[in-house]
Amino acid sequence: MTKLRIISDLHYTVGINGPDYDGTYKTSGIYRHFNKELQEPVDITLMAGDVCEGIENHKSFFNCFFKNKKVIFIDGNHIVYFENKDYSKPILSELKQKLKEEFPKEHLFWHYLENDWMWIDYPNVAIIGSTFYTDYKYCDLTLEELNDKLKAYHIWGQLYGLAVGEFKPHEQLNLKIIREETMLEATRLNDFQWGKQSPLKSLSPEYYLKLHRKAKRDVQRCHKEIISINPNAKIILMTHHCLSPQCISEKYKKTLLNASFISDLENWVDKQLPNVRLVISGHVHNRNDFTFGKRHVRYIVNPCGYIKYNEPFNEPKFNPNLIINTEEI
């Protein structure tokens, strides 16, 4: 039996949950609020993304809070929220490659997964890790609600003197329209202001969609590799972006931005990944624990969120010691 701690979105970053400017890790929100709890002994801590930004900050974080302790983690969208020493913006693919080099599966303690897998309890329990991103297909708005929202945006643009042209409501709600509107809404996120796809090209929702499609293929490949070794192996799937609409907080329903946080893939997991018993995600800053599908796959979301905004103290509270054992999976 292996004890697993499940957490995400610690945001160990200056100005959020990290140390004060010129301060040590002991000035961080994570240390002040949760250091004692994070020292509770477990076999492995699973982190579903947004630990911190950049490579050096990951090294510092693990050395301060998880020295000589086993961690399996994935990255998240905040990985690019910084500038290089030469003031250039980070290139996402280069960051992912550096994380693989600094924290390989063979590392003694800290293991980074991106569209990859490793054993937790050989050969009975394995974990697949992927940032995963989203397919931008999710929309919980009716056609009328969408047109009302877009009309409001149009009126706002007119009031501020923007060249918005004539408002033309959509006559139907299909995938093309949904993606057009959800990807346009996604450009508001800081991801696309900070990160780069290449030295000359910023990150974009279109690039995230490309990464999502690759992740989906790679997760299926990982699943096949695991069950080729043990057809009865139990699998944990850990992603940063969520795979179920049930992850969305009630207060954020009916917004186009939800498609930037979740994909509706319950049915895909239930049918195409039959050995997945547990899904872990982050990204949304509300806690949840539910099951879905005919197989009653368990889904856990346990993000810290932004301490300065009191997010960990909302209900249900962030639990730094949400611990399960592999026999429960």
Q: Which residues pair with 73 in a beta bridge?
A: 47, 112
- Decide if pLDDT at 154 tops 90: no
- Decide if pLDDT at 313 tops 80: no
Cα 222 to Cα 44, 226, 235, 275: the distances in Å are 20, 6, 10, 11
For domain 3-139+185-328, the question of CATH label 3.40.50 is answered with no
pLDDT of the residue at 150:
85
What residues does each domain of the chain span? 3-139+185-328, 143-184
Per-residue pLDDT band at 315 (split at 50, 70, 90): confident
Residues in contact with 317: Cβ distance below 8 Å, sequence separation at least 6, in sequence order: 287
Residues in contact with 248: Cβ distance below 8 Å, sequence separation at least 6, in sequence order: 140, 242, 258, 261, 262, 284, 286
Q: Rounded distance, CA 316 to CA 183, Å?
A: 30
What is the largest distance, in Å, between two alpha-carbon atoms of the chain?
63
Token pair listed for 240 = 């940063």
Per-residue pLDDT, averaged over 239-257, amounts to: 95
Per-residue pLDDT, averaged over 258-270, amounts to: 98
Q: Rounded distance, CA 195 to CA 218, Å?
A: 23
pLDDT in tens, 62-77: 999 999 999 999 999 9
Per-residue pLDDT, averaged over 251-266, amounts to: 95
Residues in contact with 185: Cβ distance below 8 Å, sequence separation at least 6, in sequence order: 256, 257, 259, 260
Residues in contact with 132: Cβ distance below 8 Å, sequence separation at least 6, in sequence order: 212, 215, 216, 219, 239, 240, 241, 243, 263
What is the chain's mean pLDDT, rounded? 94
Q: Which residues pair with 126 in a beta bridge?
A: 119, 235
At residue 16, the 3 state secondary structure works out as: coil
Q: Rounded distance, CA 252 to CA 271, Å?
A: 28
Per-residue pLDDT, averaged over 172-193, amounts to: 95
Pairing of strands 116-121, 125-130: antiparallel
At residue 291, the 3 state secondary structure works out as: strand
- Decide if pLDDT at 41 tops 90: yes
Environment class of 59 (CB within 10 Å of its CB; exposed 0-12, middle 13-18, buried 19+): middle
Cα 39 to Cα 64, 127, 162, 326: the distances in Å are 11, 23, 53, 20
- Decide if pLDDT at 163 tops 70: no
User: Of all residues in the chain, what percent are helix, strand and coil, respectively (each to 5)?
Assistant: 35, 20, 45
